[in-house]
Structure 1
Amino acid sequence: MTCPRIVVVGGGAGGLELATRLGRTLGKRKRADIILVDRNPTHIWKPLLHEVAVGALDTDLDAVSYQSHARQNGYYFQRGTLTGLDKETRTLTLAPINDEEGKVIIGERSLNYDYLVMAVGSISNDFGTPGVRDNCYFLDSPQQAESFRQAMLSAFLKNAPADNGQDGDKELTIAIVGAGATGVELSAELFNAVEMLHSYRVTGVDRQRLKVHIIEAADRILPALAERISSNVHQELTRLGVQIHTKTMVAKADEHGFETSTGERIDADLLVWAAGVMAPKFLSELGLSTRRNNQIEVHQTMQSVDDPHIFAIGDCAACPQADDKFVPPRAQAAHQMASTMYKNLVALINGKEMKPFEYRDLGALVSLSHFHAAGRLMRGASTRGLFIEGWLARTFYTSLYRMHQQAIYGTPRMLAKIVVDRLNHWLRPRLKLH
């Protein structure tokens, strides 16, 4: 009997955790062929891309090699970008892979599947705002985060200390559109970065000369989270020196800054767009039913409404819940969906019924670098939860990443990673400087 082939497209939090679990059980036991497809050779946990963007997280140390990880966990890895889907023949088309000079390394390929799981995540939504794509940095991928980091280092280097060691008097301004978790956490990490860079004498800009603006269309920052968290974080950011502009719509962007809908100018040296969430546009071109934000429409079993052999999890899935709501685009949702998806695929192979996915809100946490952390932990069926801040919130925030590492590495390796991280924290610079 031929083993069924399960293809997972997208090696983000949900996709990698799913492929890992399937590989360790079905793959290693030769009960199914598991293939993970991703355009990148390595994985970084997306909620930490703001740390990559300032150099607080070193991708050379923390990235997971898909090829090595696949060998250790019983699945196969194919590097590539999905460009086509034939539902009739159950075939995927992967685009050619080119080198840095544009020469083709691997040509266009076809990949057959018995069950397909789309887990390609989400990207920022610029809402068609003029000038944004040409003038702003995005933090949707490790490559984009690295591009911002290089630009940030260059901007700081332009303001290096004088030959006599004295700081200059020039300011550096960074404007961030979007006061969700990414924008808020990035703004705090920038102050951590300037502290480190100034201490290493990379730049003459200090905290007083770094100007950070957060621009948010809603009436408060972190509009998707509880008001108490929003208020607490707003207070801490203000104390750091962040200038917060709420109820402010961006009309356009140019190389010198943003113009708001009221005609106000917010000039800056570096522009970041971290507003809005949408699934990648190519999902709406595959012949599957999608919503306006390109999310694939699925049943509560995460099965496509068009094809019983196709599933979607994470940010790219429009998975219905009670009260006509959908699963929110959050890392904890992707983790929970991957767990249920694993059980459903095993059930399918064993000829059993699948179970509907029910999202459980476990709370929300926001970390402002080493300065502060705040959040809410859910208590059973309570909708209000328990508010926490300070070191306790920071501990819980860090534990989320450790849970992800445990899922993809296993407990022994996760514990070893903690030890290695502690040693690197002691041995290496606190910030990536090159």
Structure 2
Amino acid sequence: MHRFIVVGGGAGGLELATRLGDRYGSKKNGGARALVTLVDRYPTHIWKPLLHEVAAGSMDPFTQELEYAAQARWHGFEFQQGELAGLDRKVKRITLAPVRDDDGAELLPQRELEYDTLVIAIGSTTHFFGVQGAPEHSIALDTVQQAERFRKRLIAACMRAEHQVHERVESGDGMSPEKEPRIQVAIVGGGATGVELSAELRNTAQVLSAYGLHKLDPRHDVGIVLIEAGPRILPALTERVSSATAELLTKLGVKLMVGETVAEVSPGVVRTASGKTVRADLTVWAAGIKAPPVLTKLDGLTVNRLGQLQVRRTLQTENDDDIFALGDCAGCPWPGNERNVPPRAQAAHQQASFLLKSLVNRMEGRPLPEFTYRDFGSLVSLGHFSAVGNLMGGLIGGSMLIEGLFARFMYMSLYRLHIAALHGYPRMMLDTFAHWLRRTTLPRVKLH
């Protein structure tokens, strides 16, 4: 049987493996006609655009995570846990690094898997741009573990600040003149992740206060500073969307620092290139992404200046017709534009759907089509407060700014469409109803 290997269980990779398994690996369709294998370094999947909600505590990751092994069982493919470590194109074989537990003990040894068609969809990682102290003293939001680490540190910081306030009141120390926030969170990067996290944190501060985890003023005692190197936040979106978002964040009490490049991150302090110093009890780094370093070591595959695998419009790598790439790790041409297809979830979704058709053609000996990216616009969530974005396409005849309840509904629909791609629409509707029921019986923020 033809052997498909999809490396990377993100939005695009998991959708592709699921649909390939349904078509070729499922016994429901007259028996397995191909071996489909999904590889990922983690055992569970979560939609990456939701990680800012995990960090703010407004979403419990354990209710939204999907077990790769269970998805494989339901949809006719196999799952292998491990991180891509090497590639031998001559014999068509990939190498997976050993899997270790939290204590460093080996769970699975180094393994080799053979393929006929390989799809690389390993996404991206945080780019610290060589800033001194950034990797050591700030928290990125690449994984659930990092998001959970930030959430726990935020709750701990609130509880410590509350205790310090209580001690100062009892000792008779003057409290009233102080205008500085008792806790300050610095978010480096004014892109979608930084903006969405800043809004969610304002909601988190209010909920933690309502549940008695602290008695601080959630607006004045919990400060949020958003630092952006460019002249405006959301530089990848239109100026209208950026301005509308900046106005909404200012109303929420988020301090915006634009045109400030971070030069150093130290414990409790962020310093900018212009000489400004920002106090930071917690620092989140959301300033940019880069392709995983392993891509530069894959048996001579061409990478671009961003470290992405350079692919043709068929999504085949430039060096090897049997290797495809999609999502953030792929440098895919965008005809009519100076830049490549942007690293967005909608791009990965479109490429996964396109590759399913391409691989069917490949199995049946037909020529491969060329991928054309369709930009449907961008949406940015501001928590339960609002959402803002722009819609694009022939239906509306250009670009249209949207915000408020309608934008919030559209943003939530993106995740539901991802669930539908993995499970089908009936199960997606049941999952939506179950999620609503859970929300009616649980706190709006994870408290422990």
- Classify the TM-score, shorter chain: over 0.9
Number of the residue aligned with 1:22: 20
Asked if 1:258 corresponds to 2:256, the answer is no
CA deviation string 1:283-308 (max 9, x = no partner): 11113111122100010100000111
Asked whether the 8 Å contact 1:379–1:386 carries over to 2, the reply is no
3-state SS of 2:161 partner: coil
Which of 185, 195, 214 is the matching residue for 1:203?
214
Aligned-residue offset at 1:160: 3.6
Asked if residue 321 in structure 1 is aligned to residue 321 in structure 2, the reply is no
Distance 1:212 1:121 in 2: 29
Measure, in 2, the Cα distance between the counterparts of 1:226 and 1:99: 44
Q: Does 1:306 align with 2:306?
A: no
Structure 2: state its 5+ residue gaps: none
SS in 2 for 1:159: helix
Deviates more, 1:22-31 or 1:184-193: 22-31
Secondary structure of 1:322's partner?
Answer: coil
User: How far does residue 282 in structure 1 lie from its aligned partner after superposition?
Assistant: 1.1
Q: Which amino acid in 2 is paired with 1:153?
A: I
Residue 347 (structure 2) aligns with: 333
1:193 — aligned with what?
A: 204
Tell me which moved more, 378-387 or 209-218: 378-387
In the alignment, structure 1 residue 229 sits paired with structure 2 residue 229: no
1:379 matched residue in structure 2: 393
Separation in 2, partners of 1:155, 1:78:
39
Structure 2 match to 1:294: 307
1:89-109: per-residue Cα shift (whole Å, max 9, x none)? 111111111122211121111
Residue 273 of structure 1 deviates from its aligned partner by 0.6
Which residue, 163, 184, 189 being the options, matches 1:178?
Answer: 189
Answer yes or no: is 1:143 the counterpart of 2:154: no
1:193-221 residue CA offsets vs partner (Å, 9 max, x unmatched): 11111111012232221111111111100
Give per-residue Cα distances to partners, 1:129-163, cap 9 Å, x unaligned: 11100100000111111111121121112134688
**Residue in 2 aligned with 1:281?**
293
Write the letter of the residue equivalent to 2:303: T
Structure 2 SS opposite 1:306: coil
Q: Distance in 2 between matches of 1:74 and 1:23?
A: 5
Of the structure 1 ranges 321-330 and 107-116, higher mean CA displacement relative to structure 2 is found in 321-330
1:71 has 2:73 as partner:
yes
Identity fraction in percent:
46
Q: Could you tell me which residue of structure 2 aligns to residue 243 of structure 1?
A: 255
Per-residue deviation, 1:382: 6.8
**Partner of 2:224 in structure 1?**
212
Q: Deviations over 1:60-88 (max 9, x none)?
A: 11100101111001111101011111011
Shift of 1:388: 1.1
Aligned to 2:442: 428
Asked whether the 8 Å contact 1:49–1:145 carries over to 2, the reply is: yes
Q: Distance in 2 between matches of 1:293 and 1:104?
A: 33
Distance in 2 (alpha carbons) for counterparts of 1:177 and 1:382: 35
Alpha-carbon RMSD across the aligned residues, in angstroms, is 1.7
Q: Does the 8 A contact of 2:226 with 2:257 survive in 1?
A: yes
The residue type paired with residue 149 of structure 2 is S
Structure 2 counterpart of 1:16, one-letter code: L
TM-score where L is the length of structure 2: 0.93
Partner residue of 1:369? 383
The separation in 2 between residues aligned to 1:195 and 1:270, in whole angstroms, is 18
Amino acid across the alignment from 2:330? A
Please identify, of 79-88 and 380-389, the stretch whose mean Cα deviation from structure 2 is larger: 380-389
1:31-50 matched pairs, under 5 angstroms: 31-50=33-52
How many Å separate the matches in 2 of 1:220 and 1:282?
33
Partner of 2:418: 404
Aligned position for 1:393: 407
**Local SS of the residue matching 1:366:** strand
Which letter does structure 1 place at the counterpart of 2:281? D
Whole-angstrom distance in 1 between the partners of 2:314 and 2:288: 26
Task: Give 1:159's aligned residue.
Answer: 161
Give distance in 2, aligned partners of 1:138 and 1:67: 27
Kindly indicate whether the alpha-carbon contact (under 8 Å) linking 2:375 and 2:393 is maintained by their aligned counterparts in 1: no
**Cα pair 1:159 1:204 within 8 Å, conserved:** no
- State the distance in 1 between where 2:395 and 2:307 align: 32
Give the whole-Å Cα distance in 2 for the aligned partners of 1:163 and 1:236: 33
- State how far apart, in whole Å, the 1-side matches of 2:419 and 2:33 are: 25
Cα distance between partner residues in 2 of 1:146 and 1:85: 33
**Distance in 1 between residues matched to 2:373 and 2:232, nearest whole Å:** 26
Opposite residue 356 of structure 1, the aligned amino acid is E
Paired residue type of 2:302:
S
Distance in 2 (alpha carbons) for counterparts of 1:221 and 1:427:
36
1:325 shift after superposition: 2.8
CA distance in 2, matches of 1:159, 1:131: 25
- Contact 1:160/1:201 (8 A) holds in 2: no
1:267 aligned onto 2:279: yes
Cα distance in 2 for residues equivalent to 1:14 and 1:241: 36
